[in-house]
Structure 1
Amino acid sequence: MLNKPFNDIRLDDIYALKTNAIEEGKSIDYKLELHLNNGRERKEFAADITSFANTSGGDLIIGVSEDQGIITELQGIEVEDKDKFILKIESLVRDTVAPQITGLDMNFYQMGDENKYILHIRIPQSYVGPHVVNGEKFYGRNNAGKYPLDFVEIKQRFTLSNQVQEKIKYYHSERIMKIKAGEGYWELGGGASLLINIVPLQSFSESVYVSSLTPTRFKLNTLFGNDSYDHKIQFEGISGVFYHSYHHINRQGIIEFADKDILENMKSRMSYISAKPIINRILETIPSAFHNLKELGLHGPYVIFTSVLDVKNVQISYNEHSYTSTNLRQNDLIFPAIMITNSSDLSDYDRVLRELFSNAAGFTPNLSS
């Protein structure tokens, strides 16, 4: 794999692969052409993509000739419409691979000719696999290239995926207990609290360690204070803190929003909790978390956990025009985990928040309100 952030790679870096005689292998593959006109060609390309995703990720360089795995010439491929070509690739991968692979990066590096390019595709290691092509075969990679996985290797990859999921569930339970015990990353005070954890799957399957805590790298908007916050650095990471609300990035690259101001202010002002403004505030704020994760090179998928804690006997409404006649019997509202594969599309998360907050208030959800 090219040891460089994807967005920093230029055509000169591809030439350097040739100059330095970098041999293709487990994490990099060279191809002269890319044809996707028939089923066999599409299946072969999907096998290439999944082989990287099912192993440790890597770079696919298209438009170069090679001899014994070493680039001999950069020839480029002709592309009339780059956006249309990328959409074609994305559609193919979406239609032929299950479960879906997320986080593919693609770029064209223009050659001398106006319509000739080197196509570079970076495939991240997947943590929701293994991925299968057309429901038939699983592929992996070694130094000789891609190969069909055998039964034992397929089982190992499923086991790894399940282990990652169990670690994430345990982490979430631990964070709930910490907040309820008053042991968050920063002092929140007493009362009901809102807790959101955003966990990149990479954080539990790789050795992720966040070392550079320069405040200017991050947008640490809090649920209560928006972009009004103080940067605070500690042993466990960096936070934006505003009164009893914080946005924290820990050393594994996991985001935690914890807030006691929103719920407590509502309770004192209206004697009940109104869900709709809370949902709106969440959806306005968490894009800053995805900015931070991408800054750290953590491109997903992500798991979002949402919890409303210590709210027993509190009245809850969906909006400010109506509220339940009975108090909440549950002490804690633990929402189901939501997998986010595209951080610009939070529609599933939005739907779950609105549906379950409406249910908690005793109503059939009206998702258009």
Structure 2
Amino acid sequence: MEEMTTFHKAFDEVTENDLKLLIESGATEGLQLEFKETISNNISLVEEVVAFANTQGGDLFIGVKERDGTPVNVSGIDINPDQEILKYKQWVETNTDPALTNILYRHISLANGGHVIHIRVPRSWNGPHMVKNYKFMIRTASAKVPAGTSDIRRMMNVRDHFLEQYNRFRVQRIEKTLNVYKQETPLVLVHFLPTSAFDIESNYPLTETRNSINLSILGGSGYNQGINAHGLYYQSIGANGYRGHTQVFRSAIIEQVSNLSFNYRESYDEPRKEFFSATHFEDSLRESILNQLINYRELSMQDPFYIFVNIIGARGVIGSSYGASFISAPQSIDDDFLQLPEIMIDSHVNQDLERVILTIINYLWNAFGFVSKPEYG
């Protein structure tokens, strides 16, 4: 029997009626659902949160009476909800290692004047997390339990396994871009990868939402999406050939390929040189990230996601900016396959996107021999 849960409903949209429906439907505590009538022990609460984070994430409701794991009454608690939430947040952040800072907290006001505290714990990809009492907790079908050695080893291997899967995927996509789409190098390949991208059950309703999905090319335009075997697709072909494509996979992976940030210059005195406009790419990446955040909201994709930036076939390319060319830069790109460090974005957390973009751009300028992004002239 499929577990009943509120976890896949938008966090701000869970109401008292949803809690009553769980009672009427005979729902029970499960892998992603836990009820507490009250909280008196801070470590007990932190263990619940850590267990969810170390497993598949989940919703914890405080103010719901349960009996043997089955909710029986949405009684609520008579407290100042804002003060209570602040207390819970401080408990969690000061008693977890690595600290869990992306937990969502809110209160649900009840018809009887009471409140239910709703805590949503996303699955963590920065674990395993330990409670400050030196316990690693995980979630089973209906309870939190201490993790065994094999559980801890598995959690530590999750990120490495994810990167291995991505590396295989990336090789396949590069081969298709070069050999099937016949896109010439140099090019930029950007992947937006949800942390659930390689889960077997990860399958988003792309065709149903296709009219609201933005498929513009990185650094360009284009919104007339087509449908292919992988999901939604758009390609750009200009006067000089293939310029790039955007593919949204059913797993919510978003791939963007583009050569629009590259250009050539030549003079009578020097042979033709190829330049990479870092300012154009920076603007393009900023716009793309904002577009993908909107796309993921349209798809109800709530997982954190990685951004991988790859620059292919760019050995010898020189960096440039609007208004000033760094022809005398310390160096050109010296690698035909330049992979910039991955960045994770958690849409549940108010992140400074400019800082994310600057991190990527600084690594790019490192490839041109600069310590960090130079001031554009």
Q: Give the equivalent residue in structure 2 for 1:321.
A: 324
- The two structures have a TM-score, normalised by structure 1, of 0.84
> Which structure 1 residue ranges, 5 or more long, are not aligned?
36-40
Q: CA offsets, 1:264-295, max 9 Å, x none?
A: 4x668995222122112211221211222343
**3-state SS of paired residue (1:204):** coil
Matching residue's letter, 2:311: V
Q: CA offsets, 1:127-152, max 9 Å, x none?
A: 44222112711111224511111223
Q: Give the equivalent residue in structure 2 for 1:38.
A: none
- Contact 2:81–2:115 (CA under 8 A) maintained in structure 1: no
Taking the aligned partners of 2:274 and 2:80, their CA distance within structure 1 comes to 62
How far off its partner does 1:172 sit?
2.7
Q: Write the mapping of 1:1-369 to structure 2, written as runs, cut at 5 A.
A: 1-2=4-5, 4-7=8-11, 8-34=13-39, 41-80=41-80, 82=82, 86=85, 88-101=87-100, 104-114=103-113, 116-134=114-132, 136-179=134-177, 181-183=178-180, 187=181, 189-213=183-207, 214-226=209-221, 228-243=222-237, 244-264=243-263, 272-325=275-328, 327-342=332-347, 344-366=351-373
Pair 131,235 (structure 1): closer, same or farther in 2 beyond 3 Å:
same
Identity level (%) = 24
- Contact 1:224–1:245 (CA under 8 A) maintained in structure 2: no
How far off its partner does 1:88 sit?
5.0
Matching residue's letter, 2:253: I
Taking the aligned partners of 1:364 and 1:229, their CA distance within structure 2 comes to 38
Q: CA offsets, 1:21-74, max 9 Å, x none?
A: 322243321111245xxxxx3322111011122223322111112222222321
How far off its partner does 1:297 sit?
3.6
- Contact 1:276–1:354 (CA under 8 A) maintained in structure 2: no
Pair 163,313 (structure 1): closer, same or farther in 2 beyond 3 Å:
closer
Q: CA offsets, 1:237-270, max 9 Å, x none?
A: 1034444233221122111111123324x66899
Runs of 4+ in 1 over 6 A off after TM superposition: none
Pair 135,201 (structure 1): closer, same or farther in 2 beyond 3 Å:
farther
Taking the aligned partners of 1:152 and 1:224, their CA distance within structure 2 comes to 46
Q: CA offsets, 1:150-171, max 9 Å, x none?
A: 2232223323443223212332
How far off its partner does 1:327 sit?
4.4
Pair 274,225 (structure 1): closer, same or farther in 2 beyond 3 Å:
closer
Taking the aligned partners of 1:75 and 1:111, their CA distance within structure 2 comes to 8
Q: How many residues align?
A: 356
- Contact 1:98–1:131 (CA under 8 A) maintained in structure 2: yes
